[in-house]
């Protein structure tokens, strides 16, 4: 079986062992799952979407695919347990993009300081509202972030950061996700960095249709390998 990246055999690539780590953010620690494959060429930090966590099945599917392409992955909780419980009731934190972006920036700083990951170019993968947070964090940490991918994301929530982000950005949206597709097209017009929009045929917001999430993983893998291997 061949990977989506030419020359990489997904049956023989060693993905690496998953480790649970703690990311210090202000006066708290957030849990994250880190995988560093052998001969990794970059690291992708995941920002989950509304009401989700680092255990998101969709993000973990994409992460496993990226690991086969020799990309390290860091899936983190953007909220503590108590914050997540509050957000389940009010929904207020999932749309607080500056708040979520600061959490993501702390993860970027942690990756840059750790011996095992400090040498790896950083990419960000954001889903839903995490897409907006990824763009803001990418703008704030422009020296470290070399590529961004948004899956069914809300880049429109990034506000003025859309014009400041420098990393090549890929926006992936389902064809049937009409409202979000329109928001992505509008946001793309405000971005000055190299930006591409990929529309997955027949897919809805959660990419639940057969083959839709596979296509997301393929597109993300190609984008990250292209921009992280030679940042």
* Residue 50 predicted with pLDDT over 80: no
Question: Would the pLDDT of 8 be above 80?
Answer: no
Read off the pLDDT band of 231 (50, 70, 90).
low
Q: Are 220 and 66 in contact (CB under 8 A)?
A: yes
**Does residue 1 form part of some domain?**
no
> Which residues have CB under 8 Å from 45's CB, separation 6+?
73, 74, 76, 104, 107, 108, 111, 122, 123, 124, 125
Band of residue 1 on the pLDDT scale cut at 50, 70, 90: very low
Asked whether residue 86 is domain-assigned, the answer is: yes
Q: What is the mean pLDDT of the chain?
A: 88
Task: Give the residue-averaged pLDDT of 118-127.
Answer: 96
pLDDT at 112 over 50: yes
Q: To the nearest 10°, the Cα dihedral for 191, 23, 122, 172?
A: -50
Domain membership of residue 221 (yes or no) is: yes
The predicted model gives 148-153 an average pLDDT of 96
Predicted pLDDT of residue 17: 86
* pLDDT tens, residue by residue, 53-103: 677 788 899 999 999 999 999 999 888 877 787 777 777 777 889 999 999
- Statement: residue 176 has pLDDT above 80: yes
pLDDT at 141: 96
Q: What pLDDT score was predicted for residue 163?
A: 95
With cut-offs at 50, 70 and 90, classify the pLDDT of residue 27.
Answer: confident
- Domain for residue 136, yes or no? yes
Q: Which CATH number belongs to the domain containing residue 157 in this structure?
A: 3.40.50.1820
In a domain, 13, yes or no: no
At 12 the pLDDT is: 33
Does any domain span residue 212? yes
Q: Kindly report the CA angle at 161 between 159 and 163, in degrees rounded to 5? A: 105
Identify which has the larger pLDDT, 38 or 92.
38
For residue 113, the enclosing domain spans 18-228
Domain count, the chain: 1
Query: Is residue 77 a part of any domain in this protein?
Result: yes
Q: Is residue 7 part of a domain?
A: no
* Tokens matching residue 166: 């420098």
State the pLDDT at residue 187. 96
Highest mean pLDDT among 18-22, 85-89, 160-164: 160-164
Q: Residue 51 — very low, low, confident or very high, per pLDDT cuts 50/70/90?
A: low
Which two structure tokens, joined as six digits, stand for 124? 């960000």
CA distance linking residue 123 with residue 121, whole number of Å: 7
């Amino acid at each position: 079986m061949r990977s989506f990246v030419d020359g990489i055999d997904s049956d023989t690539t060693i993905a690496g062992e998953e480790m649970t780590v703690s990311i210090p953010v202000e006066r708290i620690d957030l849990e994250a799952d880190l995988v560093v494959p052998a001969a990794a060429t970059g690291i992708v930090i995941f920002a989950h979407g509304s009401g989700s966590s680092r255990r998101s099945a969709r993000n973990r599917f994409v992460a496993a695919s990226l690991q086969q392409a020799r990309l390290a992955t860091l899936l983190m909780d953007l909220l503590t347990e108590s914050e997540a419980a509050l957000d389940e009731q009010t929904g207020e934190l999932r749309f607080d993009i500056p708040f979520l972006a600061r959490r993501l920036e702390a993860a970027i700083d942690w990756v840059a300081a750790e011996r095992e990951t400090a040498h790896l170019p950083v990419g960000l993968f954001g889903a839903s509202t995490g897409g907006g947070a990824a763009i803001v964090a990418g703008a704030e940490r422009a020296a470290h972030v070399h590529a961004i991918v948004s899956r069914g994301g809300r880049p429109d929530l990034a506000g003025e950061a859309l014009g400041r982000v420098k990393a090549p950005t890929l926006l992936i949206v389902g064809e049937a996700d009409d409202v979000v597709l329109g928001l992505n097209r509008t946001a793309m017009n405000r971005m000055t960095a190299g930006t591409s929009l990929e529309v997955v045929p027949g897919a809805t917001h959660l990419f639940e249709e057969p083959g839709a999430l596979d296509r997301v993983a393929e597109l993300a893998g190609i984008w990250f390998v292209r921009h992280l291997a030679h940042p």
